[in-house]
A and B are shown apart, each in its own frame.
Chain A
Amino acid sequence: MNAKTDPDLDAMIHAFVDGELDAQGEDAVQAHLESDPNAAQRAADYRRQRDGLHELYDDVLSEPLTAEMRATLNTPVGHRRNSILNAPVWRMAAAIALFVAGGVGGWWGHDVTTPDASNMTAQSSPYVSRAIGAHVVFAAEVRHPVEVAASEEQHLIKWLSTRLGRNVRAPKLAEAGFELVGGRLLPDDAKPAAQFMYENQTGQRVTLYVSLDGAPADTSFRIIEQDDTSAIYWLEDGLGYALAGDLPRKDMLKIARLVYDALIA
């Protein structure tokens, strides 16, 4: 079917389809196509590819720009990097916008994943897989899920803050139906990390992992999947956070939002 053809003729067919030829060249190719069904078929196939690509992707043209793109377009250049984009208020607004979008329908995952583009590439996530591992191991633990129970919350927070050298907090997640079970100290690539565990009334558990393995720049939410467990992770103020659980994405996001809001409050 695809018999090898003269490469020069081939190039002419492409150029013909793409409007790269002058009138004389077009006439010549047109004349040739009329006497060479094989070549005519190629030209038709290339055109159909073009039409197919438009049919596949032209819908993108009418999609509204993401909130982040709009914000970037509306922000004077000199202000973007150092103040507005990285300011908590802006980020919170962005996060809220993402979740508002999230309520609407199937497209929310789309927006949620939009990180601050400046650090999309800088962000790496080795701690995230450790967070998932810690979740898998300890969330399944019946008798000793935590080192320090929520009944000693103040002690837990003080202890973990001391060990991490940073003030850590265990956000309230009651709004999502989850209560603090407690927490533990974990090794995180030769550094200490904190894990808080939460449980709801049906015994489902989520864990919040706080790593010193942050980066200078903050990011918005990103999601990673490993078997049945997913983690929503982000960097904020030099710390890496990962919320791990086996819940549906929608529920995970709701909790992540609570955590996020509590931490920047």
Chain B
Amino acid sequence: MDVRHLIASELPRVRRYARALMVGDPHGADDLVQQTLERALERTHLFQPGTNMRAWLFTILHNVNANNRRKLAARPREVWDEDVPEAAFAIAPDAHGKLELRDMARALDQLPREQRETVLLVSLEGLSYKEISEVLNVPIGTVMSRLARGRDRLRDLMQSNPITPTLRRVK
């Protein structure tokens, strides 16, 4: 499989991660994936065959995202009218399990970005701690502490979420 096909086959994963990373902004998430795709195609010569394409793409995405944040810092905030949170949390509140999911999306949104990145790369994308330390360019110890803080925060947020008090699990 050539590099281009390899990239194409991993793109849905990259998109899933971007969607979760940018909770409530699916458009921005796809923009980010598109930029990542273009950057990756420009740099295929830097990809070492046999290494992990998925981690490579996540690394590029991470760097593109960091650049974007720097550039966008001074931009006016754009607001979408189609109920942005509902798009992200579009889950029918008809079952207890589903409600918990919606709480989760909200809680995820409240995590500091570093913790959200780490939790998602571990729990959603299944990368190893070592891979994540390379993607985010931080020591493994940092990955582990972000993960621990992120997961515990997520736990607390979901347990204390005031939106669905009647459905909180009783322990």
Contacts and interface: CB of A to CB of B under 8 A. Distances in A.
Contacts of B148: 10-11, 14
A2 B74 CA distance: 40
Given A117-B34, A222-B78, A61 B101 contact: no
Most chain B CB neighbours (cut-off 10 Å) among A14, A62, A121: A121
Contacts of A30: none
A166 to B, nearest CB: 25
Contacts of A49: 104, 119, 123, 151, 154-155
Given A10-B148, A60-B15, A230-B81, A118 B38 contact: yes
Nearest to A228: B81
A77 B42 contact: yes
Interface in B57-114: 67-68, 71-72, 75-76, 78-82, 91, 100-101, 104-105, 108
A121 B8 contact: no
Nearest to B71: A121
A184 B13 CA distance: 49
B147 interface: yes
Contacts of B123: 18, 46, 49-50, 53
A222 B75 CA distance: 14
A66 B30 contact: yes
Nearest to B25: A113
Do most interface residues of chain A lie in helix, strand or loop, or is the interface mixed? Answer: helix
Contacts of B11: 65, 69, 73
A34 interface: no
A29 interface: no
A126 interface: yes
A72 interface: yes
Contact of A2 (B37, B122, B152): B152
Given A56-B20, A66-B30, A117 B35 contact: yes
A36 interface: no
Interface residues of B, number: 56
A120 interface: yes
B120 interface: yes
B81 A18 contact: no
Contacts of A230: 81
B20 A114 contact: no
Contact of B34 (A14, A62, A66, A109): A66
Given A2-B156, A60-B15, A69-B11, A223 B34 contact: no
A191 interface: no
A58 interface: yes
A5 to B, nearest CB: 10
Contacts of A126: 76
Contact of B79 (A62, A122, A125, A225): A225
Given A11-B144, A73-B4, A113 B27 contact: yes
A72 B11 CA distance: 12
B100 A52 contact: yes
A249 interface: yes
B129 A20 contact: yes
A121 to B, nearest CB: 4
B68 A2 contact: no
A117 to B, nearest CB: 4
B92 to A, nearest CB: 13
Interface of B: 4, 7-8, 11-13, 15-16, 19-20, 26-27, 30-31, 33-35, 37-38, 41-42, 44, 67-68, 71-72, 75-76, 78-82, 91, 100-101, 104-105, 108, 119-120, 122-124, 128-129, 144, 147-148, 151-152, 154-156, 159, 171
6 contacts: A2-B152, A57-B20, A60-B12, A60-B16, A73-B41, A113-B31
Given A18-B122, A69-B33, 20 more contacts: A1-B171, A20-B128, A49-B119, A49-B123, A50-B124, A53-B123, A56-B105, A60-B12, A60-B16, A61-B13, A62-B12, A63-B15, A69-B34, A72-B34, A73-B4, A120-B31, A120-B34, A120-B68, A125-B75, A222-B78
